[in-house]
């Protein structure tokens, strides 16, 4: 998506065929399983399935152009990676302009390979950026704990503690 683009309901933009838009977003949702770099854009575009406008379709087409230009990208699982987990999280305080909710995003790496990621709107409105970041960290810690238990059950327990990186000084 374009940098600093804030999509909203775009009432001033002409409507597009909703079935075609939903089909495109559904296919992009399926594709994001192996392309986490489009997860945020698809999360935003998926909010307009009920009443898509030309502005939303243009943004979805831009994602398709990006995918076409980066065909060699995807998830790489190196064979000689170590078994340590590392996590990064961030929150976009008041990221949704019309619902005023923040967004959570995280990435979790196992031995340098991306194994889990998510971008999601938070369920409540946060009063500060620090509160939004704490919520993002709590969501990420829940996923880390689940992954650690899964790896333990698979007899591939991670080595040492899992560092969690966050970019907010207050947190």
Q: Indicate if the pLDDT at residue 62 is higher than 90.
A: yes
Number of Cα atoms under 13 Å in the Cβ half of residue 23: 5
Write out the DSSP string of 101-126.
--EEEEEEEETTEEEEEEEEE-SS--
pLDDT given for residue 96 in this prediction: 58
Q: What pLDDT, on the 0 to 100 scale, is given for residue 134?
A: 87
Backbone angles phi, psi at 131, to 5 degrees: -65, -40
Q: What angle do CA 38, 69, 40 make, to 5 degrees?
A: 10
* pLDDT, position 95: 61
CATH code of the domain made up of 85-166: 3.10.20
pLDDT at site 10:
67
pLDDT, averaged across the chain: 84
Provide the pLDDT for residue 22: 94
DSSP 8-state class, residue 38: G
Q: Does 101 score more than 80 pLDDT?
A: no
Domains of the chain by residue range: 18-69, 85-166
Copy the structure tokens of residue 112: 């340098």
pTM: 0.68
Kindly tell me if the per-residue pLDDT of 142 is higher than 90: yes
Residues constituting the chain: 171
Which residues contact residue 34 at a Cβ distance below 8 angstroms, ignoring those fewer than 6 apart? 74, 75
Rounded mean pLDDT, 27-39: 86
d(CA 46, CA 49): 6
Lowest mean pLDDT among 35-39, 98-102, 139-143: 98-102
Burial tier of 63 (Cβ tally within 10 Å: 0-12, 13-18, 19+): buried
When pLDDT is averaged across residues 127-153 and rounded to a whole number, the result is: 90
Given this model, what pLDDT does residue 162 score? 93
User: Which tokens in the block code for residue 130?
Assistant: 């620090």
């Amino acid at each position: 998506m374009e940098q600093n683009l804030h999509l909203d309901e775009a009432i001033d933009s002409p409507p597009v065929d909703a079935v075609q838009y939903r089909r495109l977003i559904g296919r992009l949702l399926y594709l994001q399983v192996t392309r986490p770099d489009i997860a945020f854009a698809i999360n935003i575009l998926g909010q307009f399935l009920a009443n898509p406008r030309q502005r939303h379709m243009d943004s979805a087409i831009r994602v398709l152009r990006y995918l076409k230009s980066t065909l060699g990208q995807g998830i790489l699982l190196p064979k000689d990676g170590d078994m340590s987990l590392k996590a990064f999280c961030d929150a976009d305080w008041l990221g949704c302009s019309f619902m005023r909710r923040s967004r959570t995003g995280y990435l979790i790496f196992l031995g340098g390979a991306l194994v889990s990621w998510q971008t999601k709107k938070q369920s409540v409105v946060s009063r500060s950026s620090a509160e939004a970041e704490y919520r993002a960290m709590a969501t990420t810690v829940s996923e880390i704990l689940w992954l650690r238990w899964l790896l333990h059950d698979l007899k591939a327990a991670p080595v040492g503690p899992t560092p969690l990186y966050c970019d907010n000084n207050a947190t």
